[in-house]
Amino acid sequence: MPPLLSLLTRSATGQNISTYFNMISGPRKADEKDGPTEVHLVLLDNGRTQAYADEQLRKTLQCIRCGACMNHCPVYTRIGGHAYGTTYPGPIGKIISPHMLGLEATKTMATASSLCGACGEVCPVKIPIPDLLMRLREESFSAPHANPTMVGQGAGYSALMTSVWKGWAAVYRSPALYGVVTWLGSRFSWLMPSKQGPWTSVRVPLKPAPKRLRDMLKERH
């Protein structure tokens, strides 16, 4: 207990010890004047058994609720806790809430991250939060299968989006194919639609530049 108390306060507020600390060890004894007459311990699973069953995901349960990951997360510090829509916001919320609520309700939470790694670096109990975020993205958006690890596995799966990303990966693996695609994109940028889903609800449409960088460099040299 003393090591965890020291880790908690230093990671959360930078204090050596918290201003208030209460430890309950059991009901008061016959010769004691203070303390509870009875102590009841209620254990709520709330998805924790699911997390514990997986060797990688069980690391989520090491959390001591210090809040260090939230204090250093560039996403959380800009959008605040209410944007997450759950009791636990920030990086730790993105990896614990899917177990509590299921991936159907939290499939997009793991994508609200820049994967900068700050949360994992400052975590006093060394939870690999960035690795777990990548795992939850895979669980959410991979094709549903017969024996899922998590409730709601594949909730965000889309055959169309999977095909699009496979095509994107193929283009970026081949320099020749990448050159052809970018050439076509710069010449036919006028074909880009003006409505591009949620992106254009708050931003201007994406449109390839009329000249590629490699073309401008050739002209310069």
Confidence label for 173 from pLDDT (cuts 50, 70 and 90): very high
Which of 30-44, 124-138, 200-214 ranks highest by mean pLDDT? 124-138
The reply to whether 30 falls in a domain is no
User: Measuring CA to CA, which residue among 92, 131, 128 is closest to residue 109?
Assistant: 92
CA atoms within 13 A on the CB side of 166: 7
Cα maximum dimension of the chain: 92
Per-residue model confidence (pLDDT) at position 198 = 87
- pLDDT tens per residue, range 133-142: 999 999 999 9
Tell me the average pLDDT of the chain: 91
**Gap between the Cα atoms of 23 and 201, Å rounded:** 51
**23 or 50: which leads in pLDDT:** 50
Verify that 105 and 166 share a domain, yes or no.
no
Range of the domain at 63: 2-19+44-141
Same domain, 170 and 104: no
Contacts of 155 (CB under 8 A, 6+ apart): 102, 103, 104, 107, 140
Q: Are residues 169 and 136 in the same domain?
A: no
| Per-residue pLDDT tens over the stretch 26-84 | 899 989 888 889 999 898 999 999 999 999 999 999 999 999 999 999 999 999 999 99
Band of pLDDT at residue 221, cut at 50, 70 and 90? confident
Residues 76 and 125 in one domain: yes
Domain membership of residue 137 (yes or no) is yes
In a domain, 113, yes or no: yes
DSSP 32-94: -SSS-S--------TTHHHHHTSTTGGGGGG-----HHHHH-TTHHHH-SGGG-SSS-HHHHH
Which domain-ending residue is among 141, 168, 186?
Answer: 141
- What would the mean pLDDT of 5-22 be, rounded to a whole number? 81
**Rounded percentage of the chain residues whose pLDDT exceeds 70:** 100
At residue 171 the predicted structure's pLDDT band, cuts being 50, 70 and 90, is very high
Q: Closest Cα partner for 136 from 124, 149, 122?
A: 149
User: Which is more confident, 144 or 15?
Assistant: 144
Compute the distance between CA of residue 90 and CA of residue 122 in angstroms, rounded to an integer. Answer: 14
Q: What is the tally of structural domains in the chain?
A: 2
**Alpha helical stretches, state H, the chain:** 2-12, 48-52, 68-72, 76-79, 90-101, 103-106, 118-122, 129-141, 159-173, 175-187, 199-202, 213-220
